[in-house]
Amino acid sequence: MVLTRRTALRVVTAFLAVNLPLSLLLGCLYPAATPGIATPLGWTFAAAALVSNTAMVYAVVWILVATLVVVVPRRRILLGIAVPLGVAIHAATVIDATLYRIFRYHFNSMVLNVLTTPGAWDSVDLGVATVATFVVAGVALGAAEVVLARRLLARAAAGDCLLRVRPAWISLALVAGIAVDKGVFAYADLYNRSDITRFVKLYPLYQPLTVKRLAQRAFGFRVNREEGLTEVARAATLRYPLHPLVRTPEAATPNVLVVLIDCWRYDMLNEEVTPNLTRFAAESVVLNHHYSGGNATRFGVFSILYGLYGYDWHAFLGERRSPVLLDALQGLGYDFKILSSTRLTYPEFRKSAFIHLADAIDDELPGTTGLTRDPEQIRRLLAWLGERPDPARPFFGFLFLDAPHGRVYPPEFARFGAGAQTNYLIAGEAEVAAAKRDYMNALAFNDALVGKLLDGLRKGGWLENTIVCFTGDHGEEFREHGYFGHTSAFTPEQVHVPCILHLPGVGHRQVDLLTSHLDFVPTVMEVLGYTNPPGDYSNGAPIFASERPAYAVSCGWADCAVIDDEATLVFSMESYGGGRAEVLDRDYRPVADRRAVLAPRADRLVAVTRGFSRFMR
């Protein structure tokens, strides 16, 4: 039966309009399974975001189906496309909502690969009742959708009105929901309303609206508002730590100093580029096979300060939740000094890791780049150490050197040849090689600053009682595997970083086991005398633990990678990533037989998927 195009469009619109209330009802499973929606504004956001998210999904579905039936306006085409899509939308919502209720994240390619990898089902038992209930509900839903579609077609053929409410009014209501959703979230983000921002991952595919930069540049709005964050309500959607911390009272309280060198990658710890760091490594613990928890600054820094998978950044930022390590040090009476050559408002470390330490932050240094700001960090830290009212109190210091990221350095550090400002639109081999030379020069500049820092620590008598960590927030690639910069992949150049640990009372050691940024927090907590198992507050393990994972997890904006000595498995963490996943060999090349690589890692994949929900309620 051939329909007119207008009739086909009317039927498609009516079919989706009738399905819309069911999608909204099923979408209520998400807030129903989420603790902590307690304020009127929180419920307003949850309701508006449900309408907004559902409306956007339905808009995409309407465009696809409408386009097809306009091209081929036949009854069978409409029944064969619209009905399966209706069933798929509702089934996907139920499956994803169930997954969210249990694990607190949405269906993604990591979950899909766990379900399709031989052996993984040994650790996943859905039960006969669950499967039977889903099958019966699916069949009933499919039958109902067929009946609905046939009735709409019959009424359209008879010229009847298909909807009591005009589609224009439905569209207006959905647009209003989108406006309220985006407006409420933008307001909450500007004013640090964690009762809203903590639910940024409530719905699959949800995209928040943030206007911080626009508000600051166009209207002079002050987005850096830490004074309102010092008493953030205890997180409602996080269980972190899992149990109260227990500490041996007489345990030591060494100083802790973390020095991050932006973009410092694993092969740039050598006598030629970084001689001072190389000499310091000869008297410290060197982690030769060490990975950052992310291929971007926010995820790398998050992983080393929290000891958690980098993708958890989103939840912890939404909760405005500080790390257990820094909370513990505050409880022990430590002094704090946090210095950075880049503003800690983006990435939003003032609203996450350092949320309770606003008075200790010094990130508005003179100059515009690491060329002047990096040396100032060293000067200010050493001056602060010498001026503290109570020198006997332990301290925590954090330095974030930025010169390699901007590839800036004084002329006298052009040891590897001067480069030129990179034109990314036309960057060929010569420009990439020049950029790498600048990068190495900038690292040599930072290394000289590290030399001054170490001299100052030794002269002040602080080094012998200080845990010092030198590492990179992530690496930097110059097309060794086809990429330029970072954030684009999980190649060794982007996530394999040096790590030098000076531990009081521990001499030089070479650690060849695989380690990651996630292991720093458990290592320090162990030195501080905390007796909880690391799993109470971290996804990592102390570096000298007898049992530790033989893999690292590194994350980006939407992907995470599980890395071991032989393979890298890259998975999308977002629902819109679908089943996209890469299985790569040690040289970051796609493998021919994915199953042969995945099957022996089935237990590992299950453990990682569970790790992402460990600290979620």
Which of 25, 83, 84, 88 lies closest to 54, judged by CA? 25
Helix axes 429-459, 370-387, angle to 10 degrees: 10
pLDDT in tens, 148-202: 878 887 777 777 776 666 777 778 888 888 898 888 888 887 777 777 877 888 8
pLDDT above 70 (res 1): no
d(CA 493, CA 3): 58
Mean pLDDT, residues 448-452 taken together: 98
Which of 385, 372, 375 lies closest to 448, judged by CA? 375
Q: Which band of pLDDT confidence, cut at 50, 70 and 90, is reported for residue 133?
A: confident
Q: Where in the chain are the domains?
A: 5-212, 260-488+514-546
pLDDT of 168 reads: 78
Which of 59, 19, 17, 12 lies closest to 141, judged by CA? 19
pLDDT of 259 reads: 98
Which of 545, 542, 562 lies closest to 607, judged by CA? 562
Q: Which helix (H) or strand (E) holds 464?
A: none
Mean confidence (pLDDT) of the chain: 87
pLDDT in tens, 15-61: 888 898 999 999 999 898 887 787 888 899 999 999 999 988 888 88
Amino acid identity, position 33: A
DSSP per-residue letters across 116-172: HSTTGGGG----HHHHHHHHHHHHHHHHHHHHHHHHHHHHHHTT--S-SS-HHHHHH
pLDDT in tens, 228-255: 444 444 446 789 999 999 999 999 999 9
pLDDT above 60 (res 107): yes
pLDDT of 127 reads: 53
pLDDT above 80 (res 608): yes
d(CA 73, CA 61): 17
Residues 402-432 as b or e (16 or more Cβ within 10 Å = b)? bbbbbbbbeeebbebeebeebeeeebeeebb
pLDDT of 432 reads: 87
Q: Which band of pLDDT confidence, cut at 50, 70 and 90, is reported for residue 102?
A: low
Mean pLDDT, residues 366-376 taken together: 96
| Contact status, residue 306 vs residue 326, Cβ threshold 8 Å | no
Segment among 69-78, 209-218, 385-394, 600-609 with least mean pLDDT: 209-218
Going from the C-alpha of 182 to that of each of 57, 209, 319, 574, the distances in angstroms are: 16, 5, 18, 20
Going from the C-alpha of 275 to that of each of 280, 329, 444, 464, 470, the distances in angstroms are: 9, 32, 8, 21, 14
| Contact status, residue 85 vs residue 61, Cβ threshold 8 Å | yes
| Contact status, residue 306 vs residue 353, Cβ threshold 8 Å | yes
Token pair for 247:
């500490």
pLDDT in tens, 559-573: 999 999 999 999 888
277: buried, middle or exposed (CB in 10 Å: 19+, 13-18, 0-12)? buried
pLDDT of 121 reads: 47
pLDDT in tens, 394-416: 999 999 999 999 999 999 999 99
pLDDT above 50 (res 524): yes
pLDDT of 390 reads: 96
pLDDT above 50 (res 269): yes
pLDDT of 497 reads: 98
The strand pairing partners of 464, in sequence order, are: none
pLDDT of 478 reads: 93
Mean pLDDT, residues 450-468 taken together: 97
- Phi (first) and psi of residue 368, to 5 degrees: -120, -15
pLDDT of 606 reads: 86
Residues 101-113 as b or e (16 or more Cβ within 10 Å = b)? eebbbbbbbbbbb
Going from the C-alpha of 527 to that of each of 469, 508, 551, 572, the distances in angstroms are: 14, 17, 23, 36
Segment among 156-160, 206-210, 318-322, 563-567 with least mean pLDDT: 156-160
pLDDT of 25 reads: 93
Mean pLDDT, residues 332-348 taken together: 94
The strand pairing partners of 510, in sequence order, are: 286
pLDDT of 306 reads: 98
pLDDT of 417 reads: 87
Q: If DSSP codes are grouped into helix, strand and coil, which group holds residue 188? A: helix
d(CA 375, CA 379): 6
d(CA 365, CA 9): 60
pLDDT of 129 reads: 66
| Contact status, residue 325 vs residue 203, Cβ threshold 8 Å | no
pTM: 0.78
pLDDT above 90 (res 329): yes
| Fold of the domain spanning 260-488+514-546 | Alkaline Phosphatase, subunit A (3.40.720)
Classify the C-alpha dihedral 226-228-230-235 as positive or negative.
negative
| Contact status, residue 478 vs residue 433, Cβ threshold 8 Å | yes
pLDDT in tens, 538-594: 999 999 998 889 999 999 988 999 999 999 999 888 766 666 688 999 999 999 898
Mean pLDDT, residues 89-103 taken together: 81
Token pair for 81:
């496309």
pLDDT above 50 (res 312): yes
* % of the chain beyond a pLDDT of 70: 88
| Contact status, residue 112 vs residue 190, Cβ threshold 8 Å | no
Token pair for 544:
């000298």
pLDDT of 227 reads: 42
pLDDT above 60 (res 223): no
Instruction: Give me the residue label for tokens 């209930």.
Output: 133
pLDDT above 80 (res 13): yes
pLDDT of 35 reads: 75
Which of 350, 42, 32 lies closest to 195, judged by CA? 42
pLDDT of 229 reads: 42
* % of the chain beyond a pLDDT of 90: 51
Q: Which helix (H) or strand (E) holds 535?
A: none
Instruction: Give me the residue label for tokens 């992949």.
Output: 489
| Contact status, residue 112 vs residue 118, Cβ threshold 8 Å | no
Segment among 142-151, 158-167, 427-436 with least mean pLDDT: 158-167
| Contact status, residue 566 vs residue 585, Cβ threshold 8 Å | yes
Q: Which band of pLDDT confidence, cut at 50, 70 and 90, is reported for residue 14?
A: confident
